[in-house]
Structures are given as C-alpha cells and as structure tokens.
Amino acid sequence: MIDLGVHSVCGVSVAAVDYDAAVAKIMHAAQRKRRYAVSALAVHGVMTGFNDTEHRNRLNSLDLVVPDGQPVRWALRLLHGCKLDDRVYGPELTWRVCAASEAAGLPVLFFGSKPETLSALAENLRRAFPDLRIAGLMPSRFRTLTDAENEDVLEQIRATGAGVVFVGLGCPRQEVWAYENASALSCPVLAVGAAFDFHAGLLKQAPPWMQDRGLEWLYRLSREPRRLWRRYAYLNPLFCYAVARQYFAAASSIDSTADHEPTPARIRYG
C-alpha cells in the first residue's frame, strides 16, 4: 500500500496513492458511514480545474482525487518525486471497490448514464460479483436538475441504504455533483466517468500497451474524433506547458532558497 500524500498538479490537489490505499480510504469511510467525495482525474479532469478557478476550488474540496491518467502519475513524479508503480484508473478503481464492497457486505448504487447502460453494467457486475448487493440504478436526466429534483435524487439514494455511490455523469458534471451533494450522503461518492460504459461492455478500453504509455487519449480520439479532437488538441499541450511551468517555478524557488540557506531541510512544494 502506497500513500505519499497530496500534491499539486497544475493547481489541483492529487493524492499520490496506489489502488490499495485508495480502496482502503474509501472502505474506511463506507464502513463508518461517513461522507467521502472521490474523483479519478486524467489530464482532461485536471485541466478543467486549471482553467477554472471556481472548479479548481471544488476539486480541491473533494476528499480524494486520484491520478487516473498516466501523465498525471508522471507529473507527480516529476514535480514531487512521488514514485507510483501505476495510475489509479477510474474503471479499475470501480471494479476493486465493488469487490471490496461485496466482501464487506456493503450495498452499492450507480447514478448516471442511460437505463440500458446501467442494466448491462448491473448484469456484468452480478456475474463477476455474485454476492454484491446493488442497491439502485438511477439513470441521468441529462440536464441540470432543479433543487427539488436534486433533493428527490438524494432522498432516493438515502432510502436505498447504499454504502457506496458511483457517479457517472461525465467530467466535470460528476465532480460538481459530488462536491455539492456528498455532504448530504453518509457514504463515499465516487465520480468515475466512463467506468459505467466500460464495465457495461458498451465502450472498448484502449489496449494495455497504450494505457501503460499514456496513449489512451489517442485510442479514444481514434474512436470518437469529432467529439474529442478539440479537447485533446488544446488540453494535452496545455497540460505539458502547465507542468513544465510548475516544475521550473519550483526549481527557481529552491535555487533562491539555497542562496540564503546553505543547508536547508528538504522542501516539498505542493
């Protein structure tokens, strides 16, 4: 289990953890019926915070943000010396939390996506985890909810007795929902994006060799070029620039400190 603390990547606070640590934190909160807002962020998710101060504050108010993308994991190492063997990929985290929930006897609920996606997801999960208690499947309405409608959603979730809630509303809507509503639910709320579609078998994941090399974006772009080309053409270069700027700013600060303090203690810049 690896937990190297929380560090800034382009202004977003990301936890340098592995799967075991992330699952342990989530299950600790679930078993104690405590609020615990979680998001798995790749480059796109990090940059939604970088480009929007208000949303960055939301992300930094979540209880746990894990490095979903390999480039985010690499940035943690470059900027903060955090050596992680792997990223914490949202779909894999979902799978592992379902396994842990089955073992602990905790019911889970899925909120978001389409009814047919949720139905296929539940079927595949029941096949993989026969004893997993699925407390509810609540599709998205694909629009902004009124206050009354949102309160109704929360009441329905609470009525199921769900011990873990997975949210698949797409980035950044799911993070906004988790930020605004996690406190109203006495359980972990996990924003896991495309995990619903992947585990429902409706969306193919990139081959492992592409995932390992941080090329998942290229695979997804090849599958949905019209929808995704603007995102990757703009955000990927911007992420590289922002990480480089943060790296050289930290290096400059260290050099400046060294000029005034010949033998400084180790400093971790976040």
In a domain, 163, yes or no: yes
Q: What is the pLDDT of residues 212-248, one digit of tens each?
A: 887 777 767 777 787 777 777 888 999 999 999 999 9
In a domain, 188, yes or no: yes
On whether residue 45 sits in a domain, the answer given is: yes
Kindly indicate the confidence band of residue 266, based on its pLDDT and cuts at 50, 70 and 90.
very low
Orientation of helix 70-80 relative to helix 225-260, angle to 10°: 10
Q: Is residue 157 part of a domain?
A: yes
> Which string of b and e fits 163-201 if b means at least 16 CB within 10 Å?
bbbbbbbebbbbbbbbbebbeebbbbbbbbbbbbbbbbe
The whole-model pTM stands at 0.86
Q: Is residue 112 part of a domain?
A: yes
Q: Is 12 helix (H, G, I), strand (E, B) or coil?
A: strand
Please give the residue range of the domain that contains residue 9.
3-225
Asked if residue 238 belongs to a domain, the reply is: no
Q: How confident is the model at residue 267 (pLDDT cuts 50, 70, 90)?
A: very low
CA distance 261 to 28: 42
Beta carbons within 10 angstroms of residue 128's beta carbon: 13
- The answer to whether the beta carbons of residues 32 and 104 sit under 8 Å apart is no
User: Looking at per-residue confidence, does 169 or 262 come out higher?
Assistant: 169
Closest by alpha carbon to 231, among 219, 216, 217? 217
Number of independent structural domains in the chain: 1
Note whether residue 29 is domain-resident: yes
The per-residue pLDDT for range 114-168, each reduced to its tens digit, is 999 999 999 999 999 999 999 999 999 888 888 999 999 999 999 999 999 999 9
Instruction: Report if residue 270 sits inside a domain.
Output: no
